[in-house]
Copies of this chain bind each other. A is one copy, B any other.
Amino acid sequence: MLTLYDFMGSGNGYKVRLVLAHLGLPYTLVERDILKGETRTPEFLARNPNGRIPTLQLDDGTCLAESDAIIWYLAEGTALAPQSRLARAQTLQWMFFEQYSHEPYIAVARFWKHFFTKLTPQQEMELPGRMEKGYAALGVMEQHLARHPFFVDGRFGLADIALYGYTHVAGEGGFNLDNFPHVNAWLARVADQPGHITIDHKN
C-alpha cells in the first residue's frame, strides 16, 4: 500500500492526492503539520532529507519526494501521462515553469496570507515583488490558454494538475483572477473532470 505524507493545505500535496484520485489508487494518508515543524523531525528526514511534503512511500519502503516527480511516477502508462516525446517535454516544461516561476510567488503569497494572521516585516517587504511575479506567471498561462483548452496536446493531463494545485487557490494569496478569463475557464474545465476531488478531500 502506498503511504502519502502530506499537509492538507498544500497545493503541492493536493497534486498528488488529485492524481491518486483520478487513477483510483488506494493509499494511506499520514498528515504532517508543516506549521509545527513535523517535516523536520529525524523520523521524517530519514524519508526525505529535504524535509518537505508531499513524500510518497512505495510498497518496498522507497520514498519519493517532489510533487511533480511523484505524479510523473504515478501516472506512467496511464491516460494522464503525455503520450509522445514532445508532449513529455512540454509537460515537463509547464511543470518546471510552475515550480520556478509560479509556485514561489503564488503559493508563497498564499501561504503567508492564508496560514498566518500577520506578516513579518521581511514578508511585507517581499510581498509586492512576489505578487508582481505571480501575476506575470498568470499572464503566461492566460496567453497559452487563449489558444489551447489544456496545457499539452489539447487534453487534460499532468501539466494541468501541476498548475491547478495553486492556481485554483490563488485568491487566498490575494490574487484577483478577474482579468484572466481563459485561466478561469480552464480552472472550471479541470474541476469538471470525472474523478476530480477538492483540496480538502481526504481519501
- List residues of A whose CB falls within 8 A of some B CB: 49-50, 62, 64-70, 72-73, 76, 85-86, 88-90, 92-93, 95-97, 99-101, 103-104, 122, 125, 140, 143-144
The secondary-structure label for the interface of chain A is helix
In the bound complex, residues from chain B placing their C-beta under 8 Å from that of A103 are: 100
Q: Roughly how many angstroms separate A99 CA and B66 CA in the complex, as a whole number?
A: 11
Q: Roughly how many angstroms separate A27 CA and B108 CA in the complex, as a whole number?
A: 38
**When the two chains form their complex, are residues B50 and A69 in contact, meaning their CB atoms are under 8 A apart?**
no
In the bound complex, residues from chain B placing their C-beta under 8 Å from that of A100 are: 66, 99-100, 103-104
A29 to chain B, nearest CB (A): 20
**When the two chains form their complex, are residues B69 and A90 in contact, meaning their CB atoms are under 8 A apart?**
yes
